[in-house]
Amino acid sequence: MEEKFEPKIAAFVCNWCTYTGADLAGTSRLKQEANARLIRVPCTGRIDPVFIIKAFENGADGVLISGCHPGDCHYNAGNFHARRRWILFKNLLDFIGIDSSRLYFSWVSASEGKKWVDIVDGVIDAVRIKGPFKQYKKMNKEIEIPVAVEEGVSVK
């Protein structure tokens, strides 16, 4: 019998709105599925499309990006620059064949704990239906995984 597929979702969120909104979801004890892993950045303007590619390379079945609503950016305009970047990148991914059901964008403010939960659960559900990102996983398999580094190996 096939094991039930549980998608892995990488979420890049801005510190001021969505991360805080997710905090609020926690303080309000709003239950959500446990498939998403958040990576905090100061602003959506900081999110480079290579992050998304790298997340897929590391086994993400879906990527979620979220920040402050337009006009609410803690840094005035970071989300506006980000939005323009996403329009271009999303169209590129579409053309290459990474369809929109793998990549999600949202605006979630610090007060929208409930919205955050709905978005996360929605993305998890959608990607669960979509199934594992086989095409990318196939590419990943080609790369030989380096032997686990021994303990004590110095890191920069």
Residues 21-80 that bind another protein (CB under 8 A): 22-27, 29-32, 34, 37-43, 45-51, 53-55, 57-60, 70-71, 74-78, 80
- Single out the residue of 18, 62, 98, 109 in contact with another protein (rule: CB under 8 A): 98
**Nearest residue to 128 (alpha-carbon basis) of 9, 2, 1:** 9
Q: Which tokens in the block code for residue 21?
A: 């909104």
Question: Which residue in 111, 125, 129, 139 binds another protein (CB under 8 A)?
Answer: 139
Query: Of the candidates 17, 18, 104, 127, which one interacts with another protein according to CB under 8 A?
Result: 104
* Total residues at interface with another protein (CB under 8 A): 86
Minimum distance from CB of 37 to another protein (Å)? Answer: 6
Name the amino acid, one letter, at 26: G
* Angle in degrees, 0-180, between the axes of helices 78-96 and 49-57, rounded to the nearest 10: 50
**CB 1, min distance to another protein, A:** 20
140 forms part of the interface with another protein (CB under 8 A) = yes
Q: Binding another protein by CB under 8 A: which of 99, 111, 125, 129? A: 99
Instruction: Collect contacts of 87-91 with beta carbons under 8 A, ≥24 apart.
Output: 89/49, 89/52
111 is a contact residue toward another protein (CB under 8 A): no
Question: Which residues are bridge partners to 10 per DSSP?
Answer: 37, 63
- Please say whether the beta carbons of 102 and 130 come within 8 A: yes
Write down the least CB distance from residue 125 to another protein, Å.
13
Kindly give, in sequence order, each residue whose CB lies less than 8 Å from that of residue 132, ignoring residues fewer than 6 positions away. 5, 7, 61
| Residue 18 within binding range of another protein, rule CB under 8 A | no
The secondary structure element, H or E, covering residue 143 is none
